Amino acid sequence: MSRDISAYLKTKVNYYRTQEVINNLLEKQKITEIRHTQLKDQIILEFNYPFPEKQELKLGVRFILSLPKTDNDKERDRIRNQYYRALFYVLKSKLEAVEFGIREFGQEFLGDLIYKLPNGKTATVMEIISPQLERGFLEGKSEMLMLPEK
């Protein structure tokens, strides 16, 4: 699948600044447990969302962004700038949908929720179900539900 990221190609906003903006966005939603991890070819954002009714209950959320490979530090920073801006707008959109009551938090972030596996490791819901869905489609055991034709 090709990516059209032209909307972010010319961003001048440094990824460190966007991290700060993301933190502020999350903190407005009472999310204070936030972790950014930067690897050579990945950006990982994790946070714990407290249930409004029971603050002691928290949903873990993880976004993993795979970056195009490059050995050029300047190019890597430019790519990080782009991906962080895109991530900011994804989060902003999701949180606005929750705030407006269009979706519940669990619905909007379902694929990104962190689940503890029986072996003690963690994975997102999407990491767990995606291979199963793909196998089902490839083996013809699952079908995508479409709107009925009129």
Tens of pLDDT, residue by residue over 52-71, are 777 778 999 999 999 999 99
pLDDT at 144: 59
Report the distance separating Cα 40 and Cα 94, nearest Å. Answer: 27
**Is residue 68 domain-shared with residue 98, that is, in the same domain?**
yes
- How does pLDDT run across 33-43, given as a tens digit for each residue? 999 999 989 99
| pLDDT reported for residue 2 | 54
Position 149 in a domain:
no
Rounded to two decimals, the pTM is 0.83
User: According to the model, what pLDDT value does residue 4 have?
Assistant: 57
Residues 66 and 89 in one domain: yes
The H or E element containing residue 42 is strand 42-50
Matching residue, tokens 């707008």: 89
Number of domains within the chain: 2
The verdict on 125 and 95 lying in the same domain is no
Does residue 84 register a pLDDT over 80? yes
150 occurs within a structural domain: no
Q: Which domain holds residue 132?
A: 113-144
For residue 42, being part of any structural domain is answered with yes
